[in-house]
Structure 1
Amino acid sequence: MALFSGLTILLAFGLDHLGEPPSKLHPVVWMGNYLQLARRVLKKGFLPGLLGWGVGAGLVVLVALVVQILLQLFPTGIQLLLLTLCLKPLMAWKALKQAGEKVLDAPTLPEARQELSWHLVSRNTSELSESEVMGAAMESVAENLSDSLVAPLFWFLVGGLPMVAFYRFCNTADAMWGYRSLELEHFGKVAARMDDVLNLIPARLTGGLICAVGKSERAFQTMLRDAQMTPSPNSGYPMAALAGLLGVKLSKRETYVLGAEFREPERKDLQETLSVLHRVAWVAVALLAVVACFR
């Protein structure tokens, strides 16, 4: 079974290069639809938020557990194929890399701002400079390398399909509810805190892999020094590691500055980011697959 899990990880990552399944068949889209409905029905407040999150999380884990049990009824080869098909939509790298490429390839600054807003960040991008746009894209791809690839595969390794489905629900709930606005401060608190807990190890693992793949002591030192400057206890690790690796300052207005002593990011730095993080993605997948085979 250990070898089985390792092969599933490798095959799912290979399948990722073919793109995402249609929205109607995508489990993360289903999770998002549920979260939107729960938000409209339950309005606001801590207890309604806890109820909406708890019911959704329970349903996701139950469905994933039933699927995992049913898969065991099939011959090994068919089981491997079906499990790969179930795991693939719960992780993603190609779509994330393509989102970064759309910002990079935008012919004008307004279009780059638009691509950034559509695909990578929730902040207002309308007044960002080109340097800020490139930096924000770099930050988002680095952070989401952990959220979209390393963390799902890590939790699959720990608890199979139910655990990776639970992680993906928590991460999606945080992305939709985890804001410190008047309406969501209490409603999304459980979603945000659970996402923080589940990303403690994967975010640090991702930051460490960025340092290791880049063979950069400066990246490691910058990560240790600046990672806790972000409001999130986790996102700063891959972002600060990337800042140190490339020697660029990554910042969000009135929120944080990572690598304050470095130069401002340029378009070429986003291109280098996508190249470096693509190598990190391959190393992360290979590492987790090997651990799965020998654990």
Structure 2
Amino acid sequence: MTLAAADALPGEFAFTDADFEALARLARSEFGLSLAVSKKPLVYSRLARRLRARGLASFRDYMALLDRDGEAAERLELVSALTTNVTSFFREKHHFETLRSALVPELSGQKRVRIWSAGCSSGQEAFSIAMTLLDALPPGTRDTRILATDIDPAILRKARLGRYPAEDCETVPAEFRARWLRPVPGEAEMVETNPELSAMISFAELNLICDWPFNGPFDAIFCRNVAIYFDQETQQRLWDRFSAKLRAGGFLFIGHSERLSGPALADFTTAGVTTYRKRATPGPSRPT
């Protein structure tokens, strides 16, 4: 669809259709984000604050800024503004029930356990995985690690800190709250995670559409409500790459509005609501 460059949204900053198209191309090429034309008003409202922060008069100026050397941090501000870091402890509870009932019995005999939380946001998902594993695995299972990645360095700093408003922890089972969450000294409305949880988790910055500097294999991958920002082609390539990083029998957990599709379907069987399990003999190998 070709848009007239002269048409601009009314508002504080000039934002033509040509500006939107340039921004959409950048978002897709660097981050895999799919921005439909219908999202133009949303993009304007999300990014207007970045223009104010940088003292810019138009989106054309903002695009020129993003193109400069040394503006990698602003490009991350861009992707942070265009996505939503909505998460909670034990969100989509059925995934953690499957982790406990279907995967943990197999992990109990392993010396090495590896889980990946891809798109971990502010850390609640990774800490929920850690609580589930610590509660369910035999005490002797020591080599248990969770890799938690996100593209946003600011949200990762919050995740590493492991501090949350007490009201946000109401979805944590009471026995888990008593065991692994404690009040923050001097901050009555805040709680923090026990060091035992943090010791299991490695938080790292990662753009999912770029190279992955690790080998796996993982016993389970959680990537929930991330692929919704990608177009179908990017989603299908992501599912393929996840398959390559999972061991045979490993689990893939995705978001409630997401569905596995494309060639990777041959690698998985359905194992529950938005839950997939890698077949012992996956489909034909494909480039990752």
Normalising by structure 1, report the TM-score.
0.28
The structure showing larger relative contact order (alpha-carbon pairs under 8 Å, at least 6 residues apart) is 1
Structure with more of its chain in strand, by fraction = 2
- Pick the structure with more helix per residue: 1
- Could you state the TM-score of these two structures normalised by the residue count of structure 2? 0.28
